[in-house]
Amino acid sequence: MPKKIQMPKNVLVAAAVATAVLLAAGCGGSSDSSSSDTSPTATWADGLCSALNTWKSSLTETVNTVKDGSLSKDSLTTAVDDAKSATETLASDLEGLGKPDTEAGQQAKDSIDQLSTDLKADMTKIEDAVNGASGASGILSAVSVVTSTLVAMGTQVTSTITDIQGLDAKGELKSAFDQSASCQELQGSLQGS
């Protein structure tokens, strides 16, 4: 039977909270629009935030699974596998978004494509740390890599969304985020974290 390590809950909680806070900083805001019409650009933003909502929920479940019990290499590997699956789904969803119908649409698509690539690389870093862990100190070291990489992933998402919102002078992308129900949901769920 593999030796279980009691994981300091504050490490995993801090990672989950930091990721949530970083994501919340980049998405949404209150919508001033009273129109019920949804622009194609708002539909694009809604698809982006919907994918991020799903990813955030999966990562939160993964963190909760790990922090609620004793930590072993097997439980950490399972948690990382779940996070990898969620990240691969997010990357696929991001790649499938195409580009928004704005002057800066191609720049926004390029930013999303880069985010997808970066998130996949981060998951590889997490997997390598977990796969290379042995013994109690190795597992704790792997958890440190997982935690810091999750925080970095949150920073990348926030930075990308902030950059996208500021791409065009007309403010079409920022307005699209403000109109998007999924972006409002993402912001609301993160503020409640």
- Over residues 95-115, mean pLDDT: 90
Characterise 31 by phi-psi region: left (phi > 0), alpha (psi -120 to 50), beta (else). beta
Q: What pTM does this model have?
A: 0.76
Per-residue confidence (pLDDT) for residue 17, from 0 to 100:
46
Question: Is there a contact between 19 and 153 (Cβ–Cβ < 8 Å)?
Answer: yes
Q: Nearest CA to 143 among 61, 56, 57, 75?
A: 75
- Own/partner contacts of 138-147, CB < 8 Å, gap of 24 or more, are 139/5, 139/71, 139/72, 139/73, 139/76, 140/5, 142/76, 143/7, 143/11, 143/12, 143/71, 143/76, 144/11, 146/15, 146/76, 146/80, 147/11, 147/12, 147/14, 147/15
Express each pLDDT in 127-161 by its tens digit.
Answer: 999 999 888 888 888 888 888 888 888 888 888 88
Residue 39 has pLDDT above 90, yes or no: no
